[in-house]
Amino acid sequence: MYSPGHRPRVGAGWALLGPAFVASVAYVDPGNVAANLTAGSRYGYALVWVLAGASLMAMLIQYQSAKLGLVTGRTLPQVMRAKLEGKPWRGVVSAGYGVQAFVIAVATDVAEVVGGALALHLMFGTPLWLGGVIVGVVSVVLLWALRTHGERTFELAITAVLAIICAGFLGALWWAPPDWRATTAGLVPSVPDADAWPLVAAMLGATVMPHAIYLHSALAIDRHRRDGRLDIPLRRLLRIQKADVLLALLLAGSVNIGMLLLAAAALRGEAGDTIEAAFATISDRVGSVPALVFAIGLLASGVGSAVVGTHAGSRILKDMIGMPIAPTVRRVITIGPAVLLLTLGVAPTQVLVWSQVVLSFGVALAAAPLADFTGDRRLMGEFVDPVWKRVLNWTIVGTIVALNLVMVHWTLTQ
């Protein structure tokens, strides 16, 4: 509830931005790098439409998550838990959602840790397994340090990381300019061949991140409704959230498309590990400085998304099944698979791409209940979604499920 006697902390709308920029870091993690570079190197500009469409989906979904949190004062997992109260199958569903959330957390952590480790390997020759441990430890320390200094400090620091990521990947396009006519043609939906389907799923899973959907409601509450009261009228705050999401995800979407364009322009036909090939190609054809800028962007994406992912995983498990798990403990548990894969010598880019395919199956499990809740007048009151938005929300969910079914069919027929 808005309290007229409770003066706003800040008056300018720009100063109220922030939660979406934290969530958007998850949209430019190393999994995105691997999926987008692989798509560009294999198929050129043909799959630009996937990133454009997924970015538009993400804008709506992330706003809906923030809206749910601000209107109800509860996070998406908390609303899900409350909806199950009194149901005889509550325990099974809660446990099931908790397990899938944990699997999603592991898949997310694998991408973040592997990507950060690969960046350290490219820049300093650090063994991949050691780089994974370093990224895991640094992410926990950074999360603790930033969260202890308040929500705004956390937002500003993560936004600074996002700026470094943007400079790293979009900056590389200065030296490898894309074919803009081919880019425009790539906005027309087409799938070059059957083997492109895993990449389409990976790009979707990397662009619309399940844990970011769950987390955004919590970020909005922590920033604007931490004590249960709103500092400014809800309608104005929701308008600000729209601008927050639009700006943050427009930036993240541009970075993702920039990754694909970089690969299409500089890596088409290159063999081997795509990320390592990108680094080597930029270094050979352009110079060591642009290659270093690229590697710094990759490292920032790994560390930044690891910080956000650690926070998201802990919050999801706490709100969904009432089991508080310290971020340090969750990171120690989930970092294991990533370090193990690196120790076994599995190709980093392959790990990154398939981790995003796993994530694509978690998107609908987050987006479907969100669409249900924001369309429930008993829950949202006057802020319930209009009919056209409910149709759009469920169309997005249906599209995601259809893609997942195509992936299952592709897997079974190979």
What is the pLDDT at residue 47? 94
Round to the nearest angstrom and report the end-to-end CA distance of the chain.
55
State how far the Cα of 324 lies from the Cα of 404, in Å rounded to an integer.
31
Nearest Cα to 67, choosing from 205, 196, 240, 187? Answer: 240
- Express as a percent the part of the chain with pLDDT over 70: 82
Q: What is the DSSP string of 306-362?
A: HHHHHHHHHHHHHHHHS----HHHHHHHHHHHHHHHHHTT--HHHHHHHHHHHHHHH
- Asked if residue 87 has pLDDT above 70, the reply is no
Model pLDDT for residues 287-329, shown as the tens digit of each residue: 777 778 778 888 877 777 777 776 677 777 777 766 666 666 6
User: Do residues 227 and 378 make contact, with C-beta atoms less than 8 angstroms apart?
Assistant: no
pLDDT tier for residue 6 given thresholds of 50, 70 and 90: very low
**Token representation of residue 115:** 């990507």
What is the pLDDT at residue 109? 73
Mean pLDDT of all residues in 93-115: 73
- Asked if residue 217 has pLDDT above 80, the reply is yes
Superfamily covering domain 13-413: Amino acid/polyamine transporter I (1.20.1740.10)
